[in-house]
Structure formats: C-alpha cells, structure tokens
Amino acid sequence: MCRMCDMLGGGTNPGEAWYLNPKNYSNRMYKLREPGQRPTEQLGNSPNRGADQAPTVGLPQAIEAKASGDLATFNQVIGEMNRRTALRPGSQVVPMFEIMKVLDFGMPVAAMMCICRKTTRGVEECNLSEYSGMGLGTGMLKWERWPERYRGGVEFLSTKQAKEWVEYWDKKGMMHSLMQEGGDFIGGLCNCDYPDCLLIRNRVDYGLWAQLVKSEYVCFVDWEKCNGCGDCLGRCSFNALKFETTMEKAHIDQFNCFGCGLCETACPRDAISYLDRKKVPGLANVW
C-alpha cells in the first residue's frame, strides 16, 4: 500500500485504492472560511501541515548544483525535497479503466486548462476542444475563487461526456493521474505526457519520486500474443517500454513501469495486461 492510501484512506472495498473512496470527493472539504484564513483540519494519519511549509531549498538549487557538477549538493537538495513532499499525499498515476470508475461518482467534473502546459510552453487552453485538465469533486463548486488558475474558464461535463473526453486524450497518448489537493480531498485529473508534465519531468529527470506516485499496477507483455506491430511504442513517458530486436516484440521494464496503461490501450492484439503491483514481491514497495 502506498502512502496515498495510508493518508487518505482506501476504497470502500478491501484492497481498493484511495481514489475509489467516494469520501475523497465529498463535501467534507466544502466549508466556508473567513477571507485569508487557511484550513487547519487534519485528515487521518496526515502529518501536521506546518511541517512542510516555508521550504529552504527547492528545484532551482538542485538544477544549479547539477549543472555545476556538485552532485553532493544536488542529492542533498533532492533528498530534502522528497522528505518534505512525502509528508503529504500527492498525485498518482491511474490507468484509464480505473479512471472510468472514478468518473461514476467523482462529480461534479469540469474540463479546464492544463497548468503544466501553461508553465512549460506558455499555452493557455481556452475552450473544450483544447482543455486537457479536469477538476473533480465539490472543489469545483468554488472554482471561481482562483481566477488565475482558471483564467481559461471551465466546462462542466456529464459523466458520459467526461468518459468520452478521457478516452479522447488516452488515444492521443496522454497518461492519467489524480491529484490530491489541500491535504484532504481529490481535486483533479491530469492528462499529460513527457515533456509537458512537470510531475513526470521532476520524477524522471531529477528523482523527485514523492511528487508522483506510480499506479497500483504494472504492465506486462504476453509474447505469445505480441506480433511486434509497434503500435504501443512511443506512448510511454517513463522509459519502460522498449522494442526487443532479438525477439521483434515489445518489452516492458517493470521497475520503470508506472502502470499508466497507455501501452495496453494501444495494443490491437490484447497482448498487454496488468498485474497488481502489491502482489509482485519485487515491486510491492516500488512506488
């Protein structure tokens, strides 16, 4: 079990992940506060919110240290950032078939601008044909309180529309991740890829593992079914999927696999399947 379930609580059935718990989308976070007042409520086993405030080091210091060849400082800064980030829930990669379960109860849902693409490329998505981010749960009932975050507007969707929207981005090659917000509720669904996604880049490029947790699953290839068509290639943002020239078939490095399932949804021969990460001894603690 990853720290997300430890802090937010698992699903309603034994063994289910935190994102399948309807309470994590509910009105327990929808409460009025005086202007400027910060939330003080703690959830479950979440640590004191003050423990990770006012950071003294960050990614700019790590990048500068790495560029100058000072790997000792780089490792120290990244280690401190991971320690702070791990004190709270974060984001987790979730395959599309689990996202569909979430959309059955994670209402209201609204499509909106991707903040990563705005940050990395200066792109502001301003209508439904462009939106690639999604807000989930009762937090969307007060989205207008943060005009800069939602300056591209939002488009509220029905459950059917939301599922079709996720399928569209999945076909485009965007992996899906659920974001925890505010310390006690699920706030959004990201559809993104490397190099646009800041969380993917921070983990893959700099080792900031605590910001983006691997999914509950890992993918594997049935070589009896795989014919080496290559339709799955180019869809992995985590350097886990390769083409083995000696076999002329796809191969997945499960230690690098995040279980996003983009290879699985692209395979025309159903040659790629999921394994429960917790039931694979060598991967049970590789999050």
Per-residue pLDDT for 32 more than 70? no
Asked whether residue 4 is assigned to any structural domain, the reply reads no
Per-residue pLDDT for 42 more than 80? no
What pLDDT is stored for residue 63 in this prediction? 92
The span from the CA of 136 to the CA of 189, in Å, is 7
Q: Are residues 93 and 154 in the same domain?
A: yes
Asked whether residue 261 is assigned to any structural domain, the reply reads yes
Asked whether residue 17 is assigned to any structural domain, the reply reads no
Q: Are residues 127 and 192 in the same domain?
A: yes
Dump pLDDT digits (tens) for 193-232.
Answer: 998 999 999 999 999 999 999 999 999 999 999 999 999 9
Q: Are residues 107 and 191 in the same domain?
A: yes
Asked whether residue 74 is assigned to any structural domain, the reply reads no
The average confidence (pLDDT) of the chain is 86
Top pLDDT among 200 and 187 is at 200
Q: Are residues 221 and 252 in the same domain?
A: yes
Q: Are residues 145 and 189 in the same domain?
A: yes
Q: Are residues 94 and 148 in the same domain?
A: yes
Top pLDDT among 35 and 174 is at 174
Asked whether residue 62 is assigned to any structural domain, the reply reads no
What pLDDT is stored for residue 53 in this prediction? 47
What pLDDT is stored for residue 76 in this prediction? 95
Q: Are residues 95 and 200 in the same domain?
A: yes
Among 191, 212, 233, identify where a domain stops. Answer: 212
Lookup result for tokens 């935190």: 18
pLDDT band with cut points at 50, 70 and 90 for residue 37: low
Top pLDDT among 3 and 44 is at 3
Q: What total of structural domains would you count in the chain?
A: 2
Q: Are residues 161 and 96 in the same domain?
A: yes
Per-residue pLDDT for 36 more than 80? no
Q: Are residues 198 and 98 in the same domain?
A: yes
Q: Are residues 265 and 168 in the same domain?
A: no
Top pLDDT among 160 and 121 is at 160
Domain that residue 180 falls in: 89-212
Among 167, 187, 212, identify where a domain stops. Answer: 212
Within 8 A by CB and 6+ apart from 105, the residues are: 22, 25
Q: Are residues 208 and 93 in the same domain?
A: yes
98 close to 261: Cβ distance less than 8 angstroms: no
Percent of the chain whose pLDDT exceeds 90:
60
66 close to 74: Cβ distance less than 8 angstroms: yes
Asked whether residue 136 is assigned to any structural domain, the reply reads yes
Asked whether residue 182 is assigned to any structural domain, the reply reads yes
Q: Are residues 158 and 268 in the same domain?
A: no
Among 212, 230, 261, identify where a domain stops. Answer: 212
Q: Give me the DSSP letters along 182-225.
A: TTTEEEEEEEE-TTT-HHHHHHHHH--TTTEEPPSEEEEE-TTT
The span from the CA of 212 to the CA of 194, in Å, is 13
